[in-house]
Amino acid sequence: MIKKLFRRRGMSCDAVMEVLQSYLDGETDAETARLVAAHLHTCTDCDQETATFRRIKLSLASTPSPVDPAIISSLQHFSARLTRGELG
């Protein structure tokens, strides 16, 4: 399925956004990771989105107390909507 998202010369922004969370979690295969990294190297918009996701992950990871499951659910919902392009 993921190969359908690739363009001949790399990945589109939409394809990167669909696999971004998996990429950041180290869950993509080596070829997908290479293509995402190459795209991020050349696309400022996607690189900025990636930086935002990384900051969110770091913030959550550095939280000293347990995070309310409702907050995590809300962030996951927000992330999914952002990935689908539903937010401007």
Please state, in angstroms and rounded to a whole number, the distance separating the CA atoms of residues 25 and 60. 14
- Domain of 69? 2-83
User: pTM of the entire structure?
Assistant: 0.62
In a domain? residue 88: no
Residue 7, both tokens: 């363009």
E strands along the chain, which residues?
A: 6-7, 10-11
Number of structural domains (the chain) is 1
Tens of pLDDT along the chain (88 residues) come to 444 444 446 789 999 999 999 999 999 999 999 999 999 999 999 999 999 989 988 887 776 777 788 998 998 998 888 888 887 6
Please state, in angstroms and rounded to a whole number, the distance separating the CA atoms of residues 88 and 69. 26
In a domain? residue 70: yes
